[in-house]
Structure formats: structure tokens, C-alpha cells
Amino acid sequence: MNENSVFNRYWIGIVVGLLLPTAFGLLYLYRMGLWNSFFNSLTMHYIGDQMYALLGRVFLVAVFPNLALVFVTYKTEWWKTAKGLLIATMPYFIASIFLLS
């Protein structure tokens, strides 16, 4: 139905899918008060198990807007954009699995 829509493009889904979790993850760190502890641990050159667990959790939380956007693009039948979003979401899932294990 919306095959010729301007927003129904793979590259739009991939770009939005890579940028949205990054922005949401930084917003989450800032709003939850984890921003200072996150960067203090980076400046102390301490990257231990606790740091990896924090990054893994932030990656998982940051992916939620992507999944909501995939649902919206499926409902509007922008199939190519939805596929691009899912492709761009996979690196975040893979990184969170490795960081949490």
C-alpha cells in the first residue's frame, strides 16, 4: 500500500535504527543519574565486570524505542523501513548479550 512512500527505504531504517538507541541510551544515562558514575569510571580507567554490566543494561534499555518504531512502521506498512530498523537493532542486541554474559 505505501510502497512508494518517501520514508519506506532501507537506509532510513538503518540510520534511524543506529541513531535512536544511541540518543536514548545517553538520555537514559543522564536522566537516571548514572552519567557521572559512568564517566567517572571511564576516567579512572576502571572497566571491570560492573562497567560491562552497566553498558549491557543500557544497550538493552536503549533498544526499546527501536522496537516501538518497528511496530509503528509495520502498522503503517513501511516494510523496508521496518527491515532496516531490525537490521540496525541487531548489533545492540549482540553487544548487550556479550556484555551481560
Average pLDDT, integer, range 41-62: 69
Q: At what angle do helices 64-75 and 10-31 cross, to 10 degrees?
A: 140
pTM listed for this prediction: 0.76
Cα–Cα distance measured from residue 98 to residue 74, given in angstroms and rounded to the nearest whole number? 29
Give per-residue pLDDT as tens, 32-42: 766 666 666 55
Q: Where are the domains of the chain?
A: 10-100
Q: Is the pLDDT of residue 14 over 90?
A: yes
Block residue for cell numbers 537493532: 89
